[in-house]
Chain A
Amino acid sequence: MDFISLIFSWLNDQLLKMDWLFNLIKWLTEDVLGLSIQDKVGGSLHFFIYDTIKIFILLSVLIFAISYIQSYFPPERTKKLLGGIKGVRGNILGALLGTITPFCSCSSIPIFIGFTSAGLPVGITFSFLISSPLVDLASLLLLMSFFGPKIAIAYVIVGLVLAVIGGTIIDKLKMDEYIEGYVKEIEDVDAEIEEMTRKERITYAKEQVVEIFHRVWLYVLIGVGIGALIHNWIPQSFIETAIGSGNPFSVLIATVVGIPMYADIFGTLPIAEALFGKGVGIGTVLAFMMAVTALSLPSMIMLSKVVKRKLLVLFVVIVAIGIVIIGYSFNAFSFLLI
């Protein structure tokens, strides 16, 4: 058993955490450039180079693997799978399918219209819409790389629970009438789902890597830059006062700051990592990440085209309250995870 766990931890350290890269960049910073990584300049330089390369490697490998899997689950198929399932089981399935269906905020409107016109209850659609940006296979592996398996699995579980509960509440409050009228008038059509060949799936996965790379590289650099600033330049005392464990409002602040921000998990992680390194509670860090990925101004503007204000506000409030509760619970029980 010891031998197996040794292999597992070696794989985790080298492949996911990329210790080899950490040491390589350390050597580059210290021996080639002559800067100690204990210093501000050397430390932030090391953080910036190491994190940027690590994220881009993970991004390429993960997006490729995940896109290949996702090519089996186009939204048109998800719609069919969800049809006819009522109640909480529908919410659970909606949340689970949200993790494997390819999604970006630009496709949320056609997905919303497609699901609604197919007669899916609005609560199930929202379970899908909450879990889709919040939890996916990439976030699980990325969190493992940055924070270890326990926190990664806990994040995925609470993310799914939030999607199920959020959707169920929207269902129970009978929010159907707050969908814009024209959405319901659109006729439901089932597109015939094309079966791709293996070669086509590989090409699709490659294209996804290129496309997502184009879309997120700037956010990643900004995220890593902010992370490097937090890591070495912003005084510990400032961060502790603002969102440290001593401040009872820390989770609330992190959530409110994160909500309007638009970035995906690749850009958010380096900031989260640096905050965590500065001693910010894990619940506060996760609340920030969830707020950034699950809610953003662009996605709210998109949704406002298909639902009336009351439902939009309710959606934001439910998700925000859920994130705050998750944040405080993680802080309270963090001793179990770290």
Chain B
Amino acid sequence: MIIKVLGTGCTNCKKLEANTKKAVEEMGIDATVEKVSDMKEIMSYGVMKTPALVVDEKVKIMGRVPSSEDIKKYL
């Protein structure tokens, strides 16, 4: 599973990345978490409000930071 965290480096993006990593760890699934900070690439997902979470090229979360518990159901 490839997970991408889209964001230009704001504090919320870092928080989402940390929460996602925690969720992955707790679930013990095989997944890579990448950070995407290039504006063109972010826009290529149609996201206009960062941070966003992309799982296997599908946008799951936009413009908010859910807890690691909440993230689990998207993985």
Chain A residues engaging chain B, CB cutoff 8 angstroms: 74-76, 79, 102, 106-107, 109-111, 113-114, 117, 182, 186-194, 200, 203-204, 207, 211
A188, B63: Cα distance in complex, Å: 18
A207 shortest CB reach to chain B, Å? 7
In contact, A107 and B50 (Cβ under 8 angstroms): yes
Taking CB atoms, residues of chain B closer than 8 Å to A190 are 46
The smallest C-beta distance from A115 to any residue of chain B, in angstroms, reads: 8
Assess the A110–B46 pair: CB atoms within 8 A. no
Contact of B45 among A189, A207, A211 (CB under 8 A): A189
Specify the chain B residue showing the minimal Cβ separation from A114.
Answer: B48
Contact yes or no, B47 A109, CB < 8 A: no
**Given A75-B48, A110-B39, A117-B43, CB of A207 within 8 Å of CB of B65:** yes
A190 to B48: give the CA distance in the assembly, Å. 10
Interface residues of B (CB under 8 A from A): 10, 12, 39-40, 42-50, 52, 58-67, 70
Q: Is the CB of B64 within 8 A of A111?
A: no
Q: How far is the CB of A236 from chain B (nearest CB, A)?
A: 44
Q: In angstroms, how far is the closest chain B Cβ from the Cβ of A112?
A: 9
Question: In the assembled complex, which residues on chain A have CB atoms less than 8 Å from the CB atom of B65?
Answer: 207
A227 to B58 Cα, complex, angstroms: 49
What are the residues of chain B within 8 A of A188 when measuring CB–CB? 46
Q: Is the interface of A mostly helix, strand, loop or mixed?
A: helix
Kindly identify which residue among B46, B60, B63 contacts A189, using a CB–CB cutoff of 8 Å.
B46
A184 CB to closest chain B CB, in angstroms? 12
Q: Which of A74, A111, A117, A188 has the most CB of B within 10 A?
A: A74
Q: Are B43 and A189 in contact (CB under 8 A)?
A: yes
- In the complex, which residues of chain B have a beta carbon less than 8 angstroms from the beta carbon of A186? 40, 43-44
A110, A187, A204 interface centre (most CB from chain B within 10 Å): A110
**Distance (Å) between the CB of B50 and the closest chain A CB?**
7
Cross-interface CB contact of B64 among A106, A182, A207, cutoff 8 Å: A207
Could you jot down 18 A-B contacts, CB within 8 Å?
A: A74-B63, A79-B48, A102-B49, A107-B48, A107-B49, A109-B39, A110-B43, A110-B48, A110-B50, A111-B48, A114-B48, A117-B43, A189-B44, A190-B46, A191-B46, A192-B58, A193-B62, A203-B67
A214 to B49, CA, bound (A): 19
Residues of B within 8 A of A79 (CB): 48
Chain B residues with Cβ under 8 A from A111's Cβ? 48-49
Q: Which residue of A has the minimal Cβ distance to B60? A: A194
Known pairs A74-B62, A190-B46, A203-B67 / 17 extra A-B pairs, C-beta < 8 Å: A74-B63, A75-B48, A79-B48, A102-B63, A107-B49, A110-B47, A110-B50, A111-B49, A113-B48, A114-B46, A114-B48, A189-B45, A192-B59, A194-B62, A200-B70, A203-B66, A207-B64
Chain A proximity of B16: nearest CB distance (Å)? 11
The complex places the Cα of A113 from the Cα of B41 at a distance, in Å, of: 12
Known: A109-B39, A186-B40, A203-B66. A76 touches B50 (CB 8 A): no
Q: How far is the CA of A75 from the CA of B48 in the complex (A)?
A: 6
Nearest CB of chain B from residue A211's CB, rounded to whole Å: 7
Provide the bound-state CA to CA distance between A76 and B70, in Å: 22
A194 touches B59 (CB 8 A): yes
